[in-house]
Structure 1
């Protein structure tokens, strides 16, 4: 079995502060395909962003992550039950869930083992929904700098699994019925410090710092500053790719 990867425990609080959340339209689409709202599982929950939204509709939400630090930084909610476990070996009983979600985490999993676990814990006819988001866009000048940083400066510091994000999960096995693919977008309004805070959550940036003892954002920041109007708040957009299926 493929070993699970935990790239986020050392930056859990930063992750909770800067990682973007997901639009209402995405959740409304999921709810339109769900028949019962008894119990959902948000796998790879991170700081609980998705779980908290699901709790607005579901009677109970199980939210799990490999990282104990991520769970420690998650926001409490009376209907969200947090736990630490591998995605491929959960503690849940068979046929427990009406909806299973994985947001920006599937590429870290052992695909075959996770798909078997989904089939074990999902109710017949339950919905499985997996999604992720690609590289942000702001404007032509800033986008070019971020793209050069992404594909040049830190490219070799990404884990191999990152290519699945660039491919919008097109080559990850998804052995479920009635498969549908949709696209959505995240829009945030950030100042330059918030953008750099988000870039600092990238696992590749963390690995660069570990290997070189310096932050690669230190060189990028003044380049961005030249293209960023002083004290401005700019629109930042992330493309979301979503795939759903019936278990």
Structure 2
């Protein structure tokens, strides 16, 4: 039987702060690994930084971090940190001096870029032997019946509402042009234990969910929420969720 609470509550109407609240955090191991590759730790630049999830991790390893995103709303929700500065700017036009950045990252963002223009900008701002890292995390993994129902939702139900660029994320950016001397990164994953509210709150940040709502398919979303609530059990129960991290890393 479906949970009455899950049917009544609009889990997908989380408001403008949902991205900052529910997006999974990158593990510290990711920032530590990227920092181990660079020629120096003077400046890291996080492009398409969103609310600064990766920026703040890089701050532990670099003297200064600059995070840029074209969305003023995302920058407004970035948590202040002493050696991190944020600004609104597109990936293709970074307000930085030439040859200034030792590390340039783009986490869960490169699929939105004009890649030839972005790569030209990377070459301009990169210090000698700088590192470029395009980071993405794949489709989340849940165990058992939860995983089976989620995969049906992801691929078959919400799938048609994803923008075409999402396929690049699903492939770990493996199909994009990457004209740099490439390095192979170690296996790293995001591993969390979430309550039902956190899980569905994360889904509410998806562009596909927004598109489905705009298309009048709230029924699809509510049906999934009710279906997943039954095998989830008590909504406060925490279930293990894993996202594999994919990286394209090169010397710029």
Q: Normalising by structure 1, what TM-score?
A: 0.92
Partner of 2:187: 183
1:211 counterpart = 2:215: yes
Partner of 2:161: 157
Partner of 2:3: none
State the distance in 2 between where 1:215 and 1:27 align.
40
Counterpart pick for 1:63 among 67, 76, 81: 67
Counterpart pick for 2:237 among 208, 232, 236: 232
**CA separation of 1:139 and 1:184: change in aligned 2, threshold 3 A:** same
SS in 1 for 2:226: helix
State the distance in 2 between where 1:153 and 1:208 align.
10
State the distance in 1 between where 2:25 and 2:153 align.
23
Superposed displacement of residue 227, structure 1: 0.6
Query: Is this contact kept in 2: 1:136–1:239, CA < 8 A?
Result: yes
Query: Is this contact kept in 1: 2:31–2:61, CA < 8 A?
Result: no
**CA separation of 1:40 and 1:208: change in aligned 2, threshold 3 A:** same
State the distance in 1 between where 2:104 and 2:15 align.
26
Structure 1 runs (4+) greater than 4 angstroms displaced? none
Partner of 1:242: 247
Query: Which structure 1 residue ranges, 5 or more long, are not aligned?
Result: 1-9
Q: Normalising by structure 2, what TM-score?
A: 0.90
Superposed displacement of residue 183, structure 1: 2.8
State the distance in 2 between where 1:112 and 1:141 align.
43
Partner of 1:197: 201
- Number of aligned residues: 238
Superposed displacement of residue 140, structure 1: 2.1
Partner of 2:81: 77
Partner of 2:53: 49
The range that moved more, 235-244 or 178-187, is 178-187
Query: Is this contact kept in 1: 2:182–2:248, CA < 8 A?
Result: no
Superposed displacement of residue 177, structure 1: 1.5
State the distance in 1 between where 2:175 and 2:16 align.
29
Provide the alpha-carbon RMSD of the alignment. Answer: 1.5
Counterpart pick for 2:114 among 104, 110, 115: 110
